[in-house]
Chains A and B, each alone.
Chain A
Amino acid sequence: MSENLAGGLATESEILATAETWRLAGRSVALATVTETWGSAPRPVGSHLVIDGDGNFLGSVSGGCVEGAVVTEAIDVIASGVPKLLEFGVADETAWRVGLSCGGRIAVHVVPVR
């Protein structure tokens, strides 16, 4: 379902251009942005992930650790039209929570593109 499996391969220009192209093509779109990081974080502040209503995505906010959760939240944001500020911390395997195995924390802001 993804057009780029959470690799950091897409450039920032490709991600932002894709957000625009998808929206122009009539797809519903959300843009996720890393707004803060604490400790060791896989992707720097300002990294982007673009998501459409069907769960297709391009870009990376964590190098693969929490993309799945961000995509799920983004589909909510697209449906509700209300932005969300998400925080992800250390992975907790016993609680089955998604998180960052590197031990860092990140904040991700998800907004709908109208």
Chain B
Amino acid sequence: MDLALLSALNRHRNAREAVALVTDLESGAARLVTPEGLAGDPAAEALVEAFRTGKSAKVITGERPEFIDVHVPPVQLIVIGAVHISQALAEMARLVELDCTLIDPREAFATPERFPNVRLIAEWPDVALPPLKPDRFTAFVALTHDPKIDDPALTIALRAGCFYIGALGSRKTHARRLERLAAAGFADADLARIHAPIGLDIGAVSPAEIAVSILAEIIGTHRQRRRG
């Protein structure tokens, strides 16, 4: 493998872009393929499957054995609001290996004492979110109830195509939120992607139970998309 190919692979990974390294197992010849650039590749069919499942695999292309080493970004979880639910959610996210970041501009909420071992950013979402590169491998959760904080964050999450978007709030709160986002130019199809009321309906009461219901909904959305 050429160093240039390895460097390109690392660049894609750092940019949270899906990429596959395809290596001929006999000659060692290798090439990089992106989901956008796979049309015309001899292993296109297998590559589609690899990008969908995120699983690397040995395939036979023509008569040649090749290895598809597929790299899809790890799923990240971005939580807006350093509230009680987030305390439980951040801990549980670590157990299921979601790369979790909490954002809350209110410094009284976003303290390391309340959130040990979690990446915590005490900034407004429009400042904190873009460097995290939210994308289709990102789950996004808005939990502050405060339109000043949640709305700009939801706007960024919707535009970024996050695979899961959830927002805390009663049906009434959510109806008003939808009116504001529609007025800001979002179509019904976009707004329908917001899970609200947030979480699976398991009758959750405590903050930790609500965190379970949110996490279950995120996992369900993620796994079913890959299964489907």
Q: What is the interface of chain B mostly: helix, strand, loop, or mixed?
A: mixed
Closest to B56 in A: A46
- The distance in angstroms between the C-alpha atoms of A13 and B25, with both chains bound, is 23
Give the number of residues in B that approach A within 8 Å (Cβ atoms): 22
A109–B23 touching, CB < 8 Å: yes
Enumerate A20-66 residues with CB–CB distance to B below 8 Å.
20, 23-24, 31, 33, 35-36, 45-46
B67–A16 touching, CB < 8 Å: no
Beyond A35-B25, A46-B69, is A111–B30 a contact (Cβ under 8 Å)? yes
Q: Which residues of B contact A91 (CB under 8 A)?
A: none
A113–B1 touching, CB < 8 Å: yes
B67–A35 touching, CB < 8 Å: yes
**Is A8 in contact with chain B by the CB < 8 A criterion?**
no
Per-residue 0/1 for A76-100: is the Cβ within 8 Å of any B Cβ (1 yes, 0 no)? 0000001101000000000000000
Closest to B57 in A: A45
A114–B25 touching, CB < 8 Å: no
B7–A20 touching, CB < 8 Å: yes
For B6, B13, B14, B71, the residue with the greatest tally of chain A CB atoms inside 10 Å of its CB is B6
A33–B67 touching, CB < 8 Å: yes
Q: Smallest distance from the beta carbon of B54 to chain A beta carbons, Å?
A: 9
Q: Smallest distance from the beta carbon of A105 to chain B beta carbons, Å?
A: 13
- Taking a contact as CB atoms closer than 8 A, the residue among A82, A83, A113 that contacts B3 in the complex is A113
Q: Smallest distance from the beta carbon of A69 to chain B beta carbons, Å?
A: 19
**Is B111 in contact with chain A by the CB < 8 A criterion?**
no
Residues of chain B having any CB pair with chain A under 8 Å: 1-3, 6-7, 9-10, 13-14, 23, 25, 27-28, 30, 55-58, 67, 69-71
**6 A-B pairs whose Cβ atoms sit less than 8 Å apart in the complex:** A13-B10, A45-B57, A83-B27, A107-B58, A111-B1, A111-B30
